[in-house]
Structure 1
């Protein structure tokens, strides 16, 4: 790949709350992880951690539905890349802050799709924790 060509596969993690317009980056496949999957942020022990930490990785990957979503997204990426017009493919995974769910999902996808030589970008993992109201019980 030359420097002026886009990578064949880019996987981006991000936080919707850190995006200027609260929208996902431009992508062919966007995974919005906010509403459907448990947020590790609600556990005070995990709030200051990121998807680089094993406790967060374990929490995210043990969330019901996440492993199946990752597998389905990897299969979709392979289908896109196998198409006759197989140009660059962009996948975006977003959660509220970009530090927990989206990071782990994007990183895991990058590992599963290593044979496609993905570029994995984490836009907001080092941003401050988003303060949110405590969940209602």
Structure 2
């Protein structure tokens, strides 16, 4: 059986279009994981604030965040289920540090 393609989207809630009530419009994905309250914001580490998620220094800070490894393990296990998701979105405030760049 060929591998299943999964689309992973980084969402910056501060940059999302908003609906008529001013709430961010969610991306088309299932699940949408909002990590703003689950993981600390890597932007508080001043030495990486101007970098993006492809930078190894940013990746080291994000993966060292308490709960990040377990979050990734759970998301991976969910994605590998036979009827698992085909689109996954991970959202935080800006999207720059947990995403793949700007």
Shorter-normalised TM-score: what interval?
0.7 to 0.9
User: In the aligned structure 2, how far is the partner of 1:50 from the partner of 1:73?
Assistant: 21
Alignment coverage as a number of residue pairs: 94
Say if 2:64 is the partner of 1:55: no
Superposition deviation, residue 42 in structure 1:
1.1
Partner residue of 2:90? 93
Higher relative contact order (CA 8 A, sep 6+): 2
Structure 1 gaps of 5+ residues are 1-6, 104-121, 127-137
Q: Secondary structure at the match of 1:45?
A: helix
1:67-93 CA-to-partner distances (Å, cap 9, x unmatched) read 1111111111111xx13xx7x711001
Task: Give distance in 2, aligned partners of 1:89 and 1:73.
Answer: 12
TM-score of the superposition, structure 1-length normalised?
0.63
For structure 2, the 5+ residue unaligned runs are: 19-23
The SS at the match of 1:14 is strand
- TM-score norm. by structure 2 comes to 0.82
Equivalences for residues 74-85 of structure 1 within 5 A:
74-79=76-81, 82-83=82-83
> In the alignment, is the contact (CA less than 8 A) between 1:29 and 1:90 conserved in 2?
yes
Rg larger in structure: 1
Q: After the TM superposition, list the runs of 4 or more consecutive aligned residues in structure 1 that deviate by more than 3 angstroms.
A: none
Q: Give 1 or 2: higher helix fraction.
A: 1
RMSD of the alignment, in Å? 1.8
